[in-house]
């Protein structure tokens, strides 16, 4: 009959060593393709620091021997020391980095939308002006097929291209295609921005809930685009 005391001591020894399979799994450290079992990450980090200190890698560092400059953080004052160390190292907390990226994406998307709206508005004004020009007599024969198919219009002679562009119907079709393409591009960029906003909101602590940003949901993005660049029907209605 096994000795209970001896079994208990043996089990405790294995548990403490962290090698009793099924109870405790030793932590693994990956270094490239190599995987190493270590007893404790804390011990491993302490050993690496002591080795680096012995090699003199911490000698003559910037700000060595000078007092640590601690800047106050109005949002999380309990983390003043941590944020100050990050700032001195040129690193910002994750939510601050994400906030910068979101502002850049918002500015870029707004400028792109304004530029696209201006270009399409100018083209719509030109087409509306064509509709008020007296119609010219129709040519005796229709244009060749290679001129009617839009990819080959890039290679049409200047005189022929001007004739094709004078057709308001074709011009409106091209305008609709350009607006539809721009709308798809805008919604795709808005989706990327919304994902970044979700990541930002999730990175905030509970104390910073008031810094959460409004999401750019698909319905909101569609409304913003359609308001800035209305469809052809709205343009024709307003110009009537």
107-145 pLDDT, tens per residue? 999 999 999 999 999 999 999 998 876 555 555 555 555
pLDDT tier at 196 (50, 70, 90 boundaries)? very high
> What does the pLDDT read at residue 154?
47
Q: In whole angstroms, what is the distance from residue 111 CA to residue 72 CA?
A: 35
* Residue 18: pLDDT band with limits 50, 70, 90: very low
Q: How far is residue 133 from each of residues 68, 127, 218, 221, 237, measured CA to CA in Å?
A: 75, 10, 40, 37, 19
Q: Is the pLDDT of residue 93 over 50?
A: yes
Cβ neighbours of residue 143 under 8 Å, at least 6 residues apart? 160, 163, 164
User: In this structure, are residues 67 and 155 in contact, taking their beta carbons and an 8 Å threshold?
Assistant: no
Does one domain contain both 123 and 215? yes
- Residue 90 backbone class (left: φ over 0; alpha: ψ -120 to 50; beta: rest): left
Residues 34, 116, single domain; the answer is: no
Confidence grade of residue 5 (pLDDT, cut at 50, 70, 90):
very low
| pLDDT score of 220 more than 60 | yes
Q: What is the predicted pLDDT for the residue at 181?
A: 96
Q: Which residue has the tokens 């000698």?
A: 59
Q: Based on the fold, state whether residues 127 and 212 are members of the same structural domain.
A: yes
Q: Which two tokens stand for residue 169?
A: 């119907």
Q: Which two tokens stand for residue 141?
A: 């024969």
Identify the pLDDT of residue 73. Answer: 63
Task: Kindly state whether residues 128 and 191 are assigned to the same domain.
Answer: yes
pLDDT at 199: 93
Q: Within this chain, do residues 118 and 33 fall inside the same structural domain, yes or no?
A: no
Q: Is the domain of 72 the same as that of 148?
A: no
Helix (H) or strand (E) holding 111: helix 94-131
Based on the fold, state whether residues 44 and 2 are members of the same structural domain: yes
- DSSP structure class, residue 26: -
C-alpha distances in Å from residue 65, one per residue of 58, 59, 61: 12, 11, 9
pLDDT at 229: 96
Return the pLDDT at 20. Answer: 43
Clarify whether residues 149 and 190 are in a common domain.
Answer: yes
Claim to verify: residue 22 and residue 76 sit in the same structural domain: no
Q: Does 47 lie in the same domain as 77?
A: no
Banded model confidence at residue 156, pLDDT cuts 50, 70, 90: very low
Give the whole-angstrom CA distance, residue 84 versus residue 113: 38
- Where residue 32 falls among pLDDT bands split at 50, 70, 90? low
Q: Are residues 124 and 212 in the same domain?
A: yes
How far is 57 from 38, CA to CA, in rounded Å? 24
Domain around 84: 65-91
pTM, whole model, 2 decimals? 0.56
Task: Provide the domain count of the chain.
Answer: 3
Same domain, 82 and 162: no
């Amino acid at each position: 009959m096994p000795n209970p005391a001896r079994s208990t001591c043996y089990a405790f020894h294995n548990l403490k060593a962290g090698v009793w399979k099924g109870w405790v799994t030793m932590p693994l450290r990956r270094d490239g393709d190599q995987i190493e079992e270590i007893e404790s990450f804390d011990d491993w980090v302490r050993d690496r620091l002591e080795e680096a200190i012995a090699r003199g890698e911490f000698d003559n560092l910037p700000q060595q021997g000078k007092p640590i400059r601690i800047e106050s953080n109005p949002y999380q004052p309990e983390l003043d020391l941590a944020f100050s160390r990050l700032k001195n190292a040129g690193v910002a907390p994750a939510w601050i980095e994400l906030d910068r990226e979101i502002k850049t994406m918002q500015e870029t998307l707004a400028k792109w939308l304004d530029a696209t709206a201006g270009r399409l508005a100018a083209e719509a004004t030109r087409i509306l002006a064509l509709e008020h020009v007296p119609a010219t007599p129709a040519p005796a024969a229709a244009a060749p097929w290679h001129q009617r198919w839009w990819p080959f219009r890039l290679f049409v002679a200047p005189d022929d291209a001007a004739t094709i562009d004078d057709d308001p119907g074709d011009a409106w079709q091209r305008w609709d295609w350009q607006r539809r393409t721009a709308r798809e591009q805008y919604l795709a960029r808005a989706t990327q921005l919304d994902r970044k906003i979700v990541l930002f909101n999730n990175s905030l602590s509970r104390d910073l809930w008031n810094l959460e940003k409004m999401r750019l949901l698909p319905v909101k993005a569609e409304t913003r685009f359609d308001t800035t660049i209305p469809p052809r029907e709205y343009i024709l209605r307003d110009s009537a």
